[in-house]
Amino acid sequence: MQQFLVEPVQQFAGANTRIKKPTEIAFFSYDNNHKLKPLDNESLRYYYPPFFNVPGHQDSRFPVDLSKGYDSFRQRDDSGDEHLDGLLDTLVEAEKRSGRKTEVDLVTWRGMMTRILTAPYELEDGFEMNATCFQLRLITPCTRYIEENHAYKAASKEAQKARFSRNRGPPQDMAMYWGYKFETLSLLNKPWGETTREEIEGREDEVVDNYAQYCSICRTEIGGASMVIGGEVDGVLGYKPDDPQAPARWVELKTSKQPEHERDRWVLDKKLLKFWAQSFLLNVPTIVIGFRSRDGRLLNIDEISTQQIPSRIQQQGTYKWNGNICINFTGQFLDFLKQTIVGDGVWRIRREAKSAAIEVFKVEEKGTGNILTQNFIDHRNSLLAGEIAAALNSRGPA
């Protein structure tokens, strides 16, 4: 077993780690039945805030009750283990179209990278991930594929439900619904110019569901580690640029209780760590927070710049965290993973709650532990066979 010490966090202060701006290399949609559609914009949605405290706009429905429609919520069963399936199957299609293989050190979901990036300050909750190192290429080292350990995820969800039931706040399912309701109120299925006024003003009465999703797949680098990260993006402001190098226009939507006391502000500043990390990793420039009352009434909306959150916390935060320390830690930890996860088999990446260290150890000597889809394995083996044949042909006859 190998260990990487997270504490003391000040060991990661100092010089800034080199980072490369995330650039989209592929994307996919889950449709209204949660069917995967690689390289398809079907579920892309467009940010247009609800009418709220607009001068001259009088409407007795506001503030909106975010609980409205809960009984008709079309909720997807997410208890199954989806591994990296959608991400990998989309990479297969992208590589077939481009004719180029994606050469990086790591491939994972944004959620896993968020856990790593926030690890210096997220002490209460642990995590477990599975990792495998697949396909030793002819020249460069293998790529590590990292997913959440499904059994740990399921146990954590049950523990979280128990904590919610002990608190004075809303039930967990209702609090989750408020977030989806805010998304429904804030997004359009088509660009604004193609949307009728009736559709815009009728969003409050739409049936809320979480089947459809739009996911962006980005390539980025932190320190010496190159990676591909896939994650859901809530919406886009106006339009999605055709040029992946153009400034991103993504919008991340969140809900949070309106701060009333010092404790509330502390909780919000702690949430901002995760909000910042999630958006930073996929180059989402804008976060929109819908502030609600304790009973789920939408009170106001705040649009904040992802880039400005760390300095805001340093200047006036009640829960102090440092974005540079998070990035420096991540760069060093990813280098550690590159050195540790080598060769065949499956590894566990584990941090127990309140632990000062992250452990990495092997759990299977052979195989990939179902982390990879058979479609992806077959595709990459086919590419490898082509590389070998090309290398042999380049030598000429014996």
Q: Which tens digits make up the pLDDT trace of 17-46?
A: 999 999 999 999 999 999 999 999 999 999
**In this predicted structure, what is the pLDDT of residue 203?**
94
**In this predicted structure, what is the pLDDT of residue 159?**
78
Give residue 52's pLDDT band: very low, low, confident or very high (50, 70, 90): low
Low-confidence winner among 2-6, 18-22, 107-111, 153-157 (lowest mean pLDDT): 153-157
**In this predicted structure, what is the pLDDT of residue 290?**
96
Give residue 57's pLDDT band: very low, low, confident or very high (50, 70, 90): very low
Q: What is the mean pLDDT of residues 162-184?
A: 83
Q: Which tens digits make up the pLDDT trace of 207-250?
A: 999 999 999 999 999 999 999 999 999 999 999 999 989 999 99
Helices (H), 39-140: 85-98, 110-117
The model's pTM: 0.93
Give residue 168's pLDDT band: very low, low, confident or very high (50, 70, 90): low
Closest among 334, 280, 332 to 309, alpha carbons compared: 280
List, in sequence order, every residue forming a beta bridge with 254; answer none if it has no partner. 289
User: Could you count the other beta carbons within 10 Å of the beta carbon of residue 103?
Assistant: 12
Distances in Å between the Cα of 225 and the Cα atoms of 27, 292, 348 are 22, 39, 19
Q: What are phi and psi of 305, to 5 degrees?
A: -85, 125
Low-confidence winner among 46-55, 252-261, 286-295 (lowest mean pLDDT): 46-55
Share of the chain above pLDDT 90, in %: 78
Q: What is the mean pLDDT of residues 292-301?
A: 94
**In this predicted structure, what is the pLDDT of residue 60?**
47
Read off the tokens for 245: 């190098």
Low-confidence winner among 47-51, 176-180, 248-252 (lowest mean pLDDT): 47-51
Give residue 53's pLDDT band: very low, low, confident or very high (50, 70, 90): low
Share of the chain above pLDDT 70, in %: 93
Distances in Å between the Cα of 342 and the Cα atoms of 31, 51, 132, 349 are 37, 54, 8, 14
> Which residues, in sequence order, are CB contacts of 234 under 8 Å at separation 6+?
45, 47, 183, 187, 250, 251, 252, 253
Closest among 153, 38, 128, 137 to 88, alpha carbons compared: 38
Q: Judge whether residue 261 has pLDDT over 60.
A: yes
Q: How far apart are CA 123 and CA 352, in angstroms?
A: 9
Q: How far apart are CA 173 and CA 159, in angstroms?
A: 14
- What is 251-283 written as a DSSP string? EEEEEEEPP-SHHHHHHHHHHHHHHHHHHHHTT
**In this predicted structure, what is the pLDDT of residue 78?**
87
**In this predicted structure, what is the pLDDT of residue 393?**
81
Q: What is the mean pLDDT of residues 86-101?
A: 95
Buried b (16+ CB within 10 A) or exposed e, 114-138: bbbbbbbbbeeebbbbbbbbbbeee
